[in-house]
A and B are shown apart, each in its own frame.
Chain A
């Protein structure tokens, strides 16, 4: 009886299988990356506020002026600023739209036919209008802060006014302090359900396929947070809204809200 022809190599010669899931390279990738960045192709982690290299306008093309400085921009993901704007501008107009994940900076950005983001027509919610107002050349509206003495009453009040986003924020605040607060949990759940319904109704069938309509080259001129950027990366022209909701890894409400904002901003459209 002869020897077996071969045996399976189950272990590496170094026996380093336990180093999984990735096999450590025999060199320092970090150092390699640095060296590569110095001598190799350019490394660019580009700030959204940084404009692309200026180029001379072609004949018949509008000149491109410097976009506004980033510091002037208010990003609506900042819930504090959003809340201030909301309190300042639209206290008596519920129900209001949810906080936008997208900045309005682009609405103000000068455009050139080639690089600038597409012009958008928008029907802004009162909050957005307020923020836009705050950004316009006219004197900025005065922003005041108010202290919430009774968060439960505030939550109930906002809910009764139809400010479900505001009520949800209050409910989450209450739950952070007291996870066993049943009223806050119930209110939060109700708000989520209503908001999901609202966004679903606005977006339409979950079987619709969203597509990105902003040219890739203009993408960096948009201003959005990384969550919106992530959702945008899931829009591949073949996945339905339902699929995107499944793969986003975020709560459905958040994904729906971001998708809705992307549609509102005409960054995404439907087939």
Chain B
């Protein structure tokens, strides 16, 4: 049966999972890690780096390393989030041709979906290495607050990466799925997700018949574990400056090492009370001396440094419960998601706020990917009864007089659906109305996402409020939104069809898919060459090690000399094939090399 992979495409880390024999499992990458940094870099030599390797050079090659692309995906160029990112990112962000966002790496422009596709491609490869077969179908998770454009952009990223994205699901829903897997729960739960780059709190209702409803969600897209790392770095930098008068921030290599060490120390302090940061030869003093940084940091210090950040997450939780008109007692379970929730201080803060111990049954780094994997398995296997219903992630409506937003289809409405509402003119003798279609939950229209607009003309001249216009919103099973406006008196009608857009055209997506395919072919062929080369070089090394002994043993006979010459010829041919990067020739030589190696070993063994 075809396998469906579940991918948690995170702001700072991504994770891939699958359900095997009914058991949801996270797939480790080649380095053995179960999460992969969502980072992409291009080296000076034009080589693409994704994951841990990109993270390791993120500061020394900051201009050409993309992190947190998820904050930009599906956003319009003029959105506040993009403006913020332009001002604070180390990589260059420019306006795209469709008012979208592009990222410049080594003088080449990439769309955000393309960058995310590189991360997804890496996750696909991890899954394929594990499965031993091509992984095509995928369920990808997104934050609950993502609008249709952001979801579409994520879907496009999957398509560029060569994936068939069969469903996009909300991250807290995935975490809840992972929690509820195999259990028959019917509860209101809170998902406190404190990851590397973002904080989210979501309140969900897990209903019978597999309905997971996000009833409230909030968060801060610029609050995460990296902020805690930054505090630790500051602490280390100031301590060193006091001691030596040198600002380590001025040196990128030092800063890269500090960043890695700070993150490591932070993680360690979740399980030990104190840890040492030891960075020998961190910087040169200018007197031809290298200085070491050696400092002990304890848990209390880390807690002091990050106290206000933790407090901010609790404030957001308070606000979310208030907005949802829920009391703490309404929350029956609290799930902790995201690496930061390993920090004991955070666990205590959450327990204090919700007045209950958080559930320890979900893995903070893996639960979202596991939930996506579970949903993927459910979608292709009828035996699974846990099926999520497609719901509208945000409310849909139109802008009305005074810049207000009038909701027609509420958030979390199961699709397909349609709703109708009657509006009237707002001015005397008004002959046309502009229908501005929006998505969001804010009462202020400007705070919501603009989806499209159209004008209904030919209204009869009448005092304000006298002309009635019927507006109908319809969402079909494919998620396509149609909006109709009808003058009830004249039956004159106008309509618009709104399809979510990532900011990329079909042609652009096709081109990007081709590029991604070419990259994969090249990468696979390089990997094949490297594997063959390593194998050949290993055997050549073994043969060369045995040469002197074999020569001594067989030199006396003509036959022996002949064998030695033949062996040398085989080694030479293998070397030539390696230097020509001819994979099939190398593979062809490996057989001869292995035979020679066996023969040499046999000769040496007989004489001992």
Please give the residue numbers on chain A whose beta carbons come within 8 Å of chain B beta carbons, in ascending order: 1-10, 12-13, 17-18, 20-23, 25-26, 29-30, 32-34, 36-37, 40-49, 70, 73, 75, 77-78, 205, 207, 216, 219-220, 222-230, 232-234, 238-239, 243, 246-252
Task: Give the Cβ gap from B83 to chain A, nearest Cβ, in Å.
Answer: 9
The total number of A-B Cβ pairs within 8 Å is 223
Contacts A1-B407, A220-B280, A249-B60 given; indicate if A205 touches B537 (C-beta within 8 A). Answer: yes
Looking at the complex, which one of B59, B291, B295, B315 makes contact with A47 (CB distance below 8 Å)?
B291
Binds A, one of B223-231, B379-387, B487-495, B583-591: B223-231
Question: What is the CA–CA distance of A3 and B243 in the complex, to the nearest angstrom?
Answer: 57
Asked whether B289 lies within 8 Å of A9 as measured between CB atoms, the reply is no
Chain A residues with Cβ below 8 Å from B282 are 45, 226, 229
Asked whether A29 lies within 8 Å of B242 as measured between CB atoms, the reply is no
Task: Give the Cβ gap from B242 to chain A, nearest Cβ, in Å.
Answer: 6
Extra 5 A-B pairs, beta carbons < 8 Å, given A6-B215, A219-B280: A5-B411, A17-B222, A46-B292, A205-B534, A222-B280
Q: Mark B248-259, 1 if CB is under 8 A from A, else 0.
A: 000111101100
Task: Give the Cβ gap from B279 to chain A, nearest Cβ, in Å.
Answer: 7
Question: What is the CA–CA distance of A209 and B590 in the complex, to the nearest angstrom?
Answer: 22
Check: B433 CB closer than 8 A to any chain A CB.
no
Asked whether B294 lies within 8 Å of A45 as measured between CB atoms, the reply is yes
Contacts A10-B221, A44-B295, A246-B47 given; indicate if A30 touches B238 (C-beta within 8 A). Answer: yes
Check: B516 CB closer than 8 A to any chain A CB.
no
Task: Give the Cβ gap from A77 to chain B, nearest Cβ, in Å.
Answer: 7
Looking at the complex, which one of B61, B241, B295, B533 makes contact with A207 (CB distance below 8 Å)?
B533
Check: B416 CB closer than 8 A to any chain A CB.
no
Chain A residues with Cβ below 8 Å from B440 are 7
Asked whether B290 lies within 8 Å of A229 as measured between CB atoms, the reply is yes
Asked whether A228 lies within 8 Å of B301 as measured between CB atoms, the reply is no
Contacts A33-B242, A48-B292 given; indicate if A23 touches B411 (C-beta within 8 A). Answer: no
Check: B21 CB closer than 8 A to any chain A CB.
no
Q: Which 6 A-B pairs have the closest CB atoms?
A: A229-B281, A249-B60, A4-B441, A41-B296, A6-B323, A33-B238
Residue of B nearest to A249 (CB): B60
Chain B residues with Cβ below 8 Å from A227 are 253
Asked whether B231 lies within 8 Å of A25 as measured between CB atoms, the reply is yes
B residues 252-301 touching A (CB-CB < 8 Å): 252-254, 256-257, 274, 278-285, 288-298, 301
Task: Give the Cβ gap from B518 to chain A, nearest Cβ, in Å.
Answer: 20
Asked whether A18 lies within 8 Å of B244 as measured between CB atoms, the reply is no
Task: Give the Cβ gap from A131 to chain B, nearest Cβ, in Å.
Answer: 13
Please give the residue numbers on chain B whose beta carbons come within 8 Å of chain A beta carbons, in ascending order: 31, 43-45, 47, 49, 53, 56-57, 59-61, 80-81, 84, 87-89, 145, 215-223, 226-227, 230-231, 234-236, 238-244, 251-254, 256-257, 274, 278-285, 288-298, 301, 304-305, 308-309, 312, 315-316, 319-320, 323-325, 395, 407, 410-411, 440-443, 447, 530, 533-534, 537
Task: Give the Cβ gap from B417 to chain A, nearest Cβ, in Å.
Answer: 14
Asked whether A8 lies within 8 Å of B281 as measured between CB atoms, the reply is no
Looking at the complex, which one of A8, A48, A238, A251 makes contact with B145 (CB distance below 8 Å)?
A8
Q: Indicate the member of B222, B254, B309, B534 with the most A CB atoms within 10 Å.
A: B222
Asked whether A78 lies within 8 Å of B222 as measured between CB atoms, the reply is no
Residue of B nearest to A76 (CB): B288
Asked whether B291 lies within 8 Å of A48 as measured between CB atoms, the reply is yes
Asked whether B407 lies within 8 Å of A5 as measured between CB atoms, the reply is no
Chain B residues with Cβ below 8 Å from A34 are 238-239, 242
Task: Give the Cβ gap from B223 to chain A, nearest Cβ, in Å.
Answer: 7
Asked whether B410 lies within 8 Å of A26 as measured between CB atoms, the reply is no
Looking at the complex, which one of A22, A41, A249 makes contact with B256 (CB distance below 8 Å)?
A249
A-B contact pairs, 16 of them (CB 8 A): A6-B216, A6-B218, A7-B442, A21-B226, A21-B230, A29-B235, A33-B238, A37-B239, A41-B295, A43-B295, A44-B295, A45-B282, A46-B292, A224-B281, A226-B291, A249-B61
Looking at the complex, which one of A18, A23, A77, A228 makes contact with B309 (CB distance below 8 Å)?
A23
Chain B residues with Cβ below 8 Å from A12 are 220, 223, 312
Task: Give the Cβ gap from A53 to chain B, nearest Cβ, in Å.
Answer: 13
Looking at the complex, which one of A36, A73, A248 makes contact with B60 (CB distance below 8 Å)?
A248
Question: What is the CA–CA distance of A197 and B153 in the complex, to the nearest angstrom?
Answer: 45
